[in-house]
Amino acid sequence: MLQRARHILHQRDLKRAVLDDRELPTAWYNLAADLPEPVPPPLSPATGRPLDPEDLRPILSRTVIEQERTNRRWIEIPDEVRRVLAIWRPTPLVRARGLERALRTPARIYFKDESQSPPGSHKPNTAIPQAYYCQQEGVRRLTTETGAGQWGCSLSLACSMFGLECKVFMVRMTYEQRPYRRSMIRLWGGQVSPSPSEETVAGREVLASDPDCPGSLGIAISEAVETASRCDDTKYAMGSVLNHVMLHQTVIGLEAQVQFELFGDRPDVIIGCAGGGSNLAGLAFPFVPEKLRGQDIRLVAAESTACPTLTRGQYRYDFSDTSRLTPLVKMYTLGHDFVPPRIQAGGLRFHGMAPLVSLAAHLGLIEAVAYDQPECFQAARMFAATEGIVPALESSFAIRAAVVEALRCRETREEKCIVFCLSGHGLCDLGSYEQYLSGELRDVETPQAALDAAPAEGDCPLLAARS
Ligand SMILES: Cc1ncc(COP(=O)(O)O)c(C=O)c1O
């Protein structure tokens, strides 16, 4: 039966490569095992010295702390986790023939459709294992932040699957922009508050100096971490940035590798939008060993010009949150107190970038491009009109990058194979699409002065004390 399905899939006019749920990967791929340099160690926020993993125990589950540090190449996915992932995985790899035709490009464009999960994005790929490990360790409640709302929904779903409570601090701007995300969190049993909130010291401090603050991921992380650290039975779960999140997301690229075989193709350019780096890492990391062996594959991060972490940030140690509660990690950053302008793609408003993605970029394995909102809305509209799916605003940055690559192929007449991660659908982003369609959307630029205001690594008293 499987043989026959495979045979049919090999046809040249194949649209979607769909795998059986028995083909869901059984292990995650850990890039740390193959990078030519080790990831610089996280530093304690209290001393600036390398972190003792035990320091993370009050806020993170034991298993994810182990996964944070491991150099093992393959990490087994527990059966209980695979059973829940199988609700929507494996996700299809789709050939974007309509988009190719519209662009009149000789390039072959594919997208890995992560919009098919219950909350509509790649985020539950890591929410499920994080909630599972916490349940196994006797945790009662998880706290988190959410930028676009997708992660908050995903953790709420994951907690409901494993009988845990869930508390979400949602960046105020998205709390107001995406009310249906709030409803989804609550439907799955989670509790949600706009951040900055009056519920934490971190939130109250921000509100005292700026009562109208739109919030940022950095502030929301501070609130979620503070809440977890105050209660013994509560842990914190992060939706991007950390090594274990990159690890869990590799199911995306591992499935895509099998699906490319079914198409009889292989990618030349792999693209993901980049907020904290997890969907890009998920799709691209499993292909890095091929790149390291000399195969000509380009890995491209597409970010927003309003929050240009990889394209204009510095590679240095910094905090992930505004209140300096989280460990210092070496990453590309715009400075932990940088509050990005109010762009619609809330999931791309993070001042930092995953340490693994940052190191890969620093080593020249990943390149970065930045686009502004209007050109990405335009790409999203073209994608919706040709492929039928309304993309998440974050994903539209990856679509834009794919369009740019495909148009370049039209110029050069190269028949490249381009794949991007459709990290989510935009059915809860329709308010922003409405603004775009009625011409109310303005571009938001981050002035150089705002980036220059970020302190250098040497200005941090903790790091100065170290040297
Ligand atoms: C749909 C979607 N895509 C992309 C992102 C960016 O996150 P990451 O870079 O970790 O994939 C988000 C973040 O919230 C998101 O919701």
Helix (H, G, I), strand (E, B) or coil at 261: helix
Q: What is the pLDDT of residue 344?
A: 84
381, two tokens: 């509209």
Question: Quick check: is 83 in a domain?
Answer: no
The pLDDT of 254-264, averaged and rounded, is 97
Which of 123, 217, 422 for a ligand 1 pocket mutation test, highest count of atoms within 8 Å of Cβ? 123
Same-domain status, 342 and 353: yes
Which of 154, 240, 243, 309 for a ligand 1 pocket mutation test, highest count of atoms within 8 Å of Cβ? 240
The pLDDT of 227-255, averaged and rounded, is 97
Residue nearest (by alpha carbon) to ligand 1 atom 5: 347
Q: Flag whether pLDDT at 3 surpasses 70.
A: no
Reference 234, options 125, 134, 132, 126; nearest CA is 134
Please tell me the distance between residue 383's alpha carbon and the centre of ligand 1 in angstroms.
Answer: 18
Number of domains, the chain? 2
Q: Which atom of ligand 1 is nearest to the CA of 148?
A: 14
Q: What is the pLDDT of residue 322?
A: 83
Contacts 24+ apart (CB under 8 A), 375-379: 375/400, 376/304, 376/345, 376/400, 377/433, 377/436, 377/441, 379/403
Sequence-ordered alpha helix ranges (H) in 413-452? 430-437, 448-452
Same-domain status, 43 and 170: yes
198, two tokens: 């009056």
Helix (H, G, I), strand (E, B) or coil at 119: coil
Same-domain status, 224 and 256: no
Q: What is the pLDDT of residues 111-127, one digit of tens each?
A: 999 999 999 999 999 99
Q: What is the pLDDT of residues 40-51, one digit of tens each?
A: 999 999 899 999
Q: What is the pLDDT of residues 387-405, one digit of tens each?
A: 999 999 999 999 999 999 9
The pLDDT of 63-67, averaged and rounded, is 97
Question: Quick check: is 234 in a domain?
Answer: yes
For residue 458, what are the CA distances in angstroms to 48, 228, 461, 466?
12, 30, 7, 10
Please tell me the distance between residue 244's alpha carbon and the centre of ligand 1 in angstroms.
Answer: 16
Task: Kindly state if the Cβ of 321 falls inside 6 Å of ligand 1.
Answer: no
Question: Quick check: is 433 in a domain?
Answer: yes
Q: What is the pLDDT of residues 325-374, one digit of tens each?
A: 889 999 999 999 887 887 788 889 889 999 999 999 999 999 999 999 99
Task: Kindly state if the Cβ of 341 falls inside 6 Å of ligand 1.
Answer: no
Question: Quick check: is 189 in a domain?
Answer: yes
Cα distance between residue 48 and residue 61, in whole Å: 22
The pLDDT of 434-443, averaged and rounded, is 87
Indicate the helix (H) or strand (E) that contains 63: helix 62-69
Task: Kindly state if the Cβ of 276 falls inside 6 Å of ligand 1.
Answer: yes
Residue nearest (by alpha carbon) to ligand 1 atom 16: 150
The pLDDT of 73-85, averaged and rounded, is 98
Beta-carbon contacts of residue 411 (< 8 Å; ≥ 6 apart): none
Q: What is the pLDDT of residues 284-335, one digit of tens each?
A: 999 999 999 999 999 999 999 999 999 999 999 999 888 888 899 999 999 9
Task: Kindly state if the Cβ of 125 falls inside 6 Å of ligand 1.
Answer: no
Question: Quick check: is 281 in a domain?
Answer: yes
**Residue 126, domain CATH:** 3.40.50.1100
Reference 111, options 297, 317, 349, 270; nearest CA is 270
Q: What is the largest CA-CA distance in the chain?
A: 65
Q: Quick one: CA torsion of 293, 298, 304, 310, rounded to 10 degrees?
A: 40
For residue 175, what are the CA distances in angstroms to 58, 63, 194, 428, 452?
28, 31, 6, 12, 29
Q: Which of 243, 259, 282 represents a domain boundary (last residue)? A: 243
Same-domain status, 96 and 106: yes
Q: What is the pLDDT of residue 467?
A: 44
Helix (H, G, I), strand (E, B) or coil at 21: helix
Q: How far is CA 55 from the centre of its chain?
A: 25
Same-domain status, 313 and 239: no
124, two tokens: 């539950």
The answer to whether the beta carbons of residues 390 and 242 sit under 8 Å apart is no
Same-domain status, 100 and 128: no
Q: Which of 187, 210, 243 represents a domain boundary (last residue)? A: 243
Please tell me the distance between residue 380's alpha carbon and the centre of ligand 1 in angstroms.
Answer: 15
Task: Kindly state if the Cβ of 40 falls inside 6 Å of ligand 1.
Answer: no
Same-domain status, 207 and 280: no
Task: Kindly state if the Cβ of 151 falls inside 6 Å of ligand 1.
Answer: yes
Angle, helices 179-187 vs 150-161, to 10°: value is 10
Task: Kindly state if the Cβ of 395 falls inside 6 Å of ligand 1.
Answer: yes
Q: Which of 190, 217, 243 represents a domain boundary (last residue)? A: 243
Question: Quick check: is 127 in a domain?
Answer: yes
Beta-carbon contacts of residue 265 (< 8 Å; ≥ 6 apart): 108, 110, 417
Residue nearest (by alpha carbon) to ligand 1 atom 13: 347
Same-domain status, 142 and 263: no
Residue nearest (by alpha carbon) to ligand 1 atom 6: 275
Q: In which domain, by residue range, is 390 found?
A: 89-120+249-466
Task: Kindly state if the Cβ of 274 falls inside 6 Å of ligand 1.
Answer: yes
Cα distance between residue 407 and residue 457, in whole Å: 40
Same-domain status, 93 and 193: no
Same-domain status, 211 and 107: no
Q: What is the pLDDT of residue 114?
A: 98
Q: Which atom of ligand 1 is nearest to the CA of 280?
A: 11
Same-domain status, 239 and 264: no
Which of 243, 250, 279, 280 for a ligand 1 pocket mutation test, highest count of atoms within 8 Å of Cβ? 279
Question: Quick check: is 26 in a domain?
Answer: no
Q: How many CB atoms lie within 10 A of CB 136?
A: 14
Please tell me the distance between residue 149's alpha carbon and the centre of ligand 1 in angstroms.
Answer: 10
Same-domain status, 95 and 68: no
Q: Flag whether pLDDT at 217 surpasses 90.
A: no
Q: Supply the DSSP symbol for 42.
A: P
Q: What is the pLDDT of residues 180-210, one digit of tens each?
A: 999 999 999 999 999 999 999 999 999 999 9
Q: What is the pLDDT of residue 362?
A: 98
pLDDT class of 7 with cuts at 50, 70, 90: low
Please tell me the distance between residue 181's alpha carbon and the centre of ligand 1 in angstroms.
Answer: 14
Q: Which residues on neighbouring strands pair with residue 418, listed in sequence order?
A: 109, 269
Q: Which atom of ligand 1 is nearest to the CA of 393?
A: 1
Cα distance between residue 119 and residue 352, in whole Å: 24
Q: How far is CA 439 from the centre of its chain?
A: 29
| Mean pLDDT estimate for the chain | 93
In DSSP notation, 324-372 reads S-SPBEEEEES-TT------S-GGG--SB--HHHHHHHHTTSEEEEEE-
Say how many CA atoms lie within 13 Å of 147 toward its Cβ: 27
Task: Kindly state if the Cβ of 220 falls inside 6 Å of ligand 1.
Answer: no
Question: Quick check: is 5 in a domain?
Answer: no
